[in-house]
Copies of this chain bind each other. A is one copy, B any other.
């Protein structure tokens, strides 16, 4: 008697569900994109990622670090310097994320039009 496949995409606890729990917040994806070009310092990221607060930057970076997507390097200098860069795992996420970004760039206009038409009523 066949059991349902363990990771049907629409089931609560599948990997894709968990991934979206992680990257679905306000800043994670923006941060990954900002790190695409190479290592960045904390203060650089604070300026680059428009609108993020210090608190959320710290929190999001810690979370990405815990997930193994970002590596944190502390340079024991004065003043302190801390650099963040994507790990190999983090970089491997850039491709599928890019596919999504491309879709958004191409189609969000249609989505917006549809939404505007509804709002007009």
Binding site for B on A (CB under 8 A): 7-12, 14-26, 29-31, 33-34, 36, 48-51, 65-69, 89, 92-93, 95-97, 99-105, 107-115, 118-119
Number of copies: 2
Give the distance to chain B from A81, nearest Cβ to Cβ, in Å. Answer: 21
A19's partner among B21, B66, B103, B119 (CB-CB below 8 A) is: B103
Q: Which one of B9, B101, B105 lies within 8 Å of A101 (CB-CB)?
A: B9
Contact B68 A110 (CB under 8 A): yes
Inter-subunit contact A50/B96 (CB<8 Å): no
Contacts A51-B12, A102-B96 given: A111-B20 contact, CB under 8 Å? no
Return the contact of A104 from the options B10, B18, B25 (Cβ within 8 A). B18
